[in-house]
Structure formats: C-alpha cells, structure tokens
Amino acid sequence: MTTDAQTHKDKASAWFEELRNQICAAFENLEDTQITGPFTDRPAGRFELTKTQRGTDGDGGGGLMSVMRGGRLFEKVGVNISTVHGTLSPMMIKAMAARKDIPGLEENPVFWASGVSLVAHMNSPKTPAVHMNTRMFWTPNASWFGGGSDLNPMIEVSEDTEFFHAELRKSCDKHDPTYYPKFKDWADEYFMIKHWGEARGVGGIFFDDHDTGDWDADFAFTQDVGRSFLDAFLPITEKRRDETWTEEDRDVQLIKRGRYAEFNLVYDLSLIHISEPTRLRRIS
C-alpha cells in the first residue's frame, strides 16, 4: 500500500468519525432544548453506543452504532460509522464490474471501506424524517466516494423543501455547478417507490462512484456534503418541532413510514451487493 493511500484512508475515516460526533452532539442538544410538546415529561434522549465488528474475530475492522430511542423529539435515530476491510466475494466483484471499470480487481480483490450513515424518525408528524450517508471505498487500483442526504416529511411544507435543497445546492456549487442538478436527478430516480409511483420523500442529492481523478477535491466535496446536512436539517426541525398535530396527522405519518420501509425492503435489498462488504455485527 502506498503512503498516499494510507493517508487518504486515515483522513477519510477520521472525518467520518468527526462528522458522526458533530451530528450526535447536535441531536442531543435538540433533545435538551425540547421543552414543549407531548413528550417533554421524558428525560432528554441520549445515544446508546454499541461496538460492531466485521468477521468472527473482528479481523475485518468494525465500527460504532449510536442509537437514540424514545426521546422528546426523536422517536428513533441511528448514527453509525464503520471502517472495514477484507476480500471481495465473486458476486461482489461481478456486481462492481457492472458499474465501474476497476483494473486488476479479480486478480487482487482486496478492499477497504469507511463511512457514516444515519436515519432519523421523529415523534411529531410535523417534523420530517431524514437520511444521510457519506462513504469512501478503496481497492488497490481505484478509490471513490459516495453519499448524499434526502428529506422525508410526513406532511410536506414547500418552503422547507426549498430550504433543504438550497443548502445542498450550496455545498455542490462550491465544487462544480453541474453537481447539484446531476445528483438531485440521481436522488429523484433512486428514491422512487416504483410500485406506488411515488417518491420516498422530497429528495435531496445522491452520488456514487465519484472519482474525478483528484482525491483531495473529491474528499473536500464529500466533507461539504456532510457539513451541509446539519445546515439543511436543523433549522427545519427547530421551526416545526413545536407545532401541534392531530391523530389524523399521526395516521399520515404511519402510512409514510410504511412506504419508507417498503422502499428499504424492496429496492435497497435489491442492491444488497453494495453493502455486503460492510455487513457488521454487534459485539455483545
């Protein structure tokens, strides 16, 4: 492994951990400052941490699951990081070759991957659910980034949708004015629940296999995508979290959650080869 490759890995994994810490601190602060509403008799929510590992002995790396349940604002949220490595299976090699030209992968199918991923579901139907992830994938002859974030309101408010997208556009435009329209369209296509003919939410950005040939520039872009998540999500949450809601609103929320689960089960599992290398298990 070259010195540059190891430096890149170290920088990326350290950043994903830093981003995870920033997000968890911001979410716990939202819990501390939630002083009105039907769930304020509860203690402020806190993340419970569980280490994970890849492989029976953890020889393939691991990560940290951070999960908060039953908070004042968050019903359930997970913010997870992992850094793993190993050998790709023949199925994974075939799947990756269909998406990207990776020289020498069959002869030397080793990999390294690191990333941060979150999904947040809220108590209030007036406060949107949200998803975000960013990641780096490395093989001996190629490395790339992927990720994005998307907003999933139970009851859409157009000004919130516009604000969320405007913040994501800022992070893209700093690097390339073509990024936002391209990655927005990719998200709109990816997060479509095809058997219902409806989107999972109001979209965001999604990118994968991102490698312009300039690792530092691609990493800086990935960092800005991560930073823009809190800039886009926190103001919407702070604006909507004290709004009153009805049982009818709650019914809409449960239907939307069902749609969210359908997407994950029907469509994300159809891409299970993408997540296969990073499959982790809890360390009890």
Q: In what order do the strands lie in the sheet with 281-282?
A: 203-210, 142-152, 129-139, 110-122, 74-87, 61-69, 48-53, 281-282
Quick one: DSSP state of residue 171? H
- 166 CB contacts (<8 Å, ≥6 apart)? none
User: How many C-beta neighbours within 10 Å does residue 146 have?
Assistant: 19
SS (H, E, C) 17-86: HHHHHHHHHHHHHHHHCCCCCCCCCCCCCCCEEEEEECCCCCCCEEEEEEEEECCCCEEEEEEEEEEEEE
- C-alpha–C-alpha distance, residues 259 and 198, integer Å: 9
Active site residue 131: yes
Question: Choosing from 85, 121, 131, 165, which is the catalytic residue?
Answer: 131
Catalytic residues: 131
